[in-house]
Amino acid sequence: MQVVILAGGRGTRLGEHAQTIPKPMVAIGERPNLEHQILLAQRHGFTNVLLLVSHLSERIESHFGGGERFGVKISYCAEDPPLGTAGALRHASQLLEDRFLVLYGDIFIDCDLARLWAHHVDSRALATLVVHPNDHPDDSDLVETDADGRISAIYPKPRPENQYLPNSVNAGVAVIEREILAMIPPGQHLDLARDIFPALARNGRLRAYHSAEYFKDFGTPDRLAHVRSDFESGKTARLSRSHARPAVFLDRDGVINKDVSHLSNPAQMELIAGAAESIRRLNQAGYLVIVVTNQPVVARGECSLDALRLIHSKMETLLGRERAWIDALYFCPHHPDKGFAGEVPELKFDCMCRKPKTGMFDQAVRDWNVSLAGSYCVGDSRRDIVAARRMGIVPVGVRTGSACLDCDALDLPDWLADDLRGAVEIILASSGSAQS
């Protein structure tokens, strides 16, 4: 398998950190970032490495040579003048295999690349982008996906303040089919994210691979310091999917947002005070944050799936503006009772996902390699508490929303907090972090 690394960056904003070296050669720990990427690729079976170089390329070639020291075969393709990320691929077309992995050399990555590759092969897309949430979505390019995982639109920064979108950021990692080279005229300065991927999305040929692993650019001194700190602390490795991680499962209405009873319009979505700060603390502690919510308003015909998507996009946008994110969201659109005016008949049945059943939890465990040991569920009703007990995770109730008033003596939560802020205090006091 072939990995192509875009390694021509100058690192102008890094100042003294990249004055005499190309940006991908900036050290993280005792190795250049580019070496970290090559070793990661090699561990996942990528032994054919193509480096697309430009600025100070001799520094890269003298360090890596033919790749023998790293267990790979390295080839080089130099561009002068720079042609952009897409133009560089077109320039190197004679060296590209039919399918290849693309990494941006100025991003620190710890990701299961073999799993990504397999996901792409199964999808039969022309390209698959890794997407992930981050703590600064307002200054990131965001992608929107449909129910089948196809990327339906890409929204470059900047965007209108009242545009609500999922916190799904292009991570700078992609698997690409050689066929896309036909979309790139030779000799032109073109960008994958700006010029090529949007066209693929319009044609339905671009897929998303959602990940909660470590992807962070180090394009400024502050971000470089952050990446170096994360690496030294072991955080970058701990977030790898190869390590099962505990999660905090959150109910939505009455826990994250104010419960307005049958919320069906994005205008009704309003975060509870302190919710974003609390979720940010869970993010920083290394927990997966997964929302599991019953939404019978869909089955009752009170809220369309499109409206529900906008509601969740607004929630993610509001969280992102306070540097918080959720890693995944699962909703049950079903309802067992019939007889509502305007109901959706095909959604009116006794499903396996509606809490207190555990279908949404079970799916999340499979999707995200969740460690149930050390996981929690925060909710405001008996449904949440019973589901948590069935999963063998710790239930924490809150007095917001329905306030767990429907819990009887057999279904009381282990703790009852005033709100999500108090619940997170309990979780962090009990376990410290997801790595404790």
**Would you name the residues annotated as active-site residues?**
251, 253
Residue 341 exposed, middle or buried by CB count within 10 Å (0-12, 13-18, 19+) = exposed
- Contact yes or no for 233/27 (Cβ under 8 A): no
Among residues 332, 115, 106, 144, which one has the least CA distance to residue 223?
A: 106
Q: Any bridge partners for residue 192, and if so which?
A: none
At 4, is the secondary structure helix, strand, or coil? strand
C-alpha 382/C-alpha 399 separation (Å) is 12
Residue 206 DSSP code: E
- Terminal Cα distance for the chain, rounded: 37
Reference 140, options 162, 165, 118, 117; nearest CA is: 165
H or E segment at 398? strand 394-398
Is residue 162 helix, strand or coil? Answer: coil
Q: Is 284 helix (H, G, I), strand (E, B) or coil?
A: helix
Cβ atoms 303, 333 nearer than 8 A = no
Give how far the C-alpha of residue 334 lies from the chain's centroid of Cα atoms, to the nearest Å. Answer: 26
Torsion sign, CA atoms 415, 420, 425, 428: positive
CA 271 to chain CA centroid, Å, is: 21
Residue in the structure block whose two tokens are 């703590």: 135
Around 280, how many Cα atoms within 13 Å sit in the side-chain half-sphere? 13
